[in-house]
Amino acid sequence: MKDLGKRNVLGVFVDTVDREAAIGKVIRAARRREALQVTALAVHGVMVGNRDMQHRSRLNRFDLVLPDGQPVRWALNVLHGTKLKTPVRGTDLTTGVLAAAEREGLSVLFYGSTRETLDRLVPRVEHLFPDLQVVGAMPSLFRAVDDKTQGTIADELRDSGAKIVFVGLGCPRQETFVHAMSDRAGVPMIAVGAAFDYLAGTLREPPRSVRRWGLEWAWRLFLEPRRLWRRYVLLNPAYLGLLTLQALHIYRPATPTSGAVDIGRLDA
């Protein structure tokens, strides 16, 4: 297992950690029923944090920010010489945590996406992990929620008995949700991006060769061009440019972690 702590990637603290170490941290927190804020960030997630200082500060308070995809792993290795061998994709983290939760007898809950996706996801998960305790699957409300509704959601998560909550709301909604809800629910919460769709079979997984060469973004763009073209066509070149400037020590991005952080618009 490898865990070298956090490193600055465009102002976002990303953990230099492999999948096994990340799974271990989640399971230890779940055993103790301790809150843990976890997300797996690809290029888009890092760039959202880079461009929004409030969100950057929010991300920098997460317990684990995992390098989701080769471009973020490469950034850690180029900027900081970490020699991290593999990224930690949200889907791979999800399956690894589910397998460990099954072994440990730790119950799980899925929050986010649509009822249709969850109705496909849960039976597939239960087929893969027949002894896993799935105690809930709550679809997204697809709207901003007020303080009263936030309290209701936190109560439902806490009262469900889930020891681990997976959140699939899309970036940056899911990180804002986890940041606001984790302490109130009192359990590890993991923002997992497209993992719900991949595991439910509503989105095709990219081939291993595509992932190895850091082209998962191109696969997603091919599958959903109308929805994602701005994300990748505009943000990917900006990411490479800023990384080059950071590597040359021309750009020194701030890494805020203290001070008041506005929850912002909380979409559930």
Go through 127-142 and write b for each residue having 16 or more CB atoms within 10 A of its CB, e for each that does not.
eebeebbbebbbbbee
**Residues whose CB falls within 8 Å of the CB of residue 178, separated by 6 or more in sequence, listed in order:** 37, 38, 39, 62, 167, 189, 190, 191
Query: What number of CA atoms fall less than 13 Å from residue 90's CA on the CB side?
Result: 29
pLDDT band for 265, please (50, 70, 90 cuts).
low
Q: What proportion of the chain, given as a percentage, has pLDDT over 70?
A: 97
Cβ-based neighbour number of residue 236 at 10 Å: 17
Cβ-contact 268, 149 below 8 angstroms: yes
Question: Which residues, in sequence order, are CB contacts of 68 under 8 Å at separation 6+?
Answer: 40, 41, 42, 45, 87, 88, 89, 90, 193
Lowest mean pLDDT among 65-69, 186-190, 193-197: 193-197
Q: How far, in whole angstroms, is CA 216 from its chain's centroid?
A: 16
The pLDDT of 98-123, averaged and rounded, is 97
55-59, 147-151, 210-214: the lowest-pLDDT one: 210-214
Q: Which of 157, 174, 139 is nearest to 40 (CA)?
A: 174
**pTM of the shown model:** 0.91
Q: Please, which pLDDT band fits residue 235 given cuts at 50, 70 and 90?
A: confident
CB 208 within 8 A of CB 15: no
pLDDT of 207 reads: 79
What is the pLDDT of the chain when averaged over all its residues?
91
How far apart CA 126 and CA 128 sit, in angstroms, is 5
User: Among 89-93, 155-159, 190-194, 226-230, which is the least confidently predicted range?
Assistant: 226-230
Long-range contacts of 2-7 (CB under 8 A, 24+ apart): 2/84, 2/85, 4/82, 4/84, 6/65, 7/76, 7/79, 7/80, 7/82
By the 8 A CB rule, do 206 and 91 touch?
no
Per-residue pLDDT tens digits for 14-51: 999 999 999 999 999 999 999 999 999 999 999 999 99
Q: pLDDT above 90 covers what percent of the chain? A: 74
- Tokens in use for 204? 């095709």
Weakest mean pLDDT among 135-149, 156-170, 239-253: 135-149
Q: Give, in order, the Cα–Cα distances in Å from 141 to each of 7, 173, 185, 234, 266.
A: 34, 12, 18, 29, 11
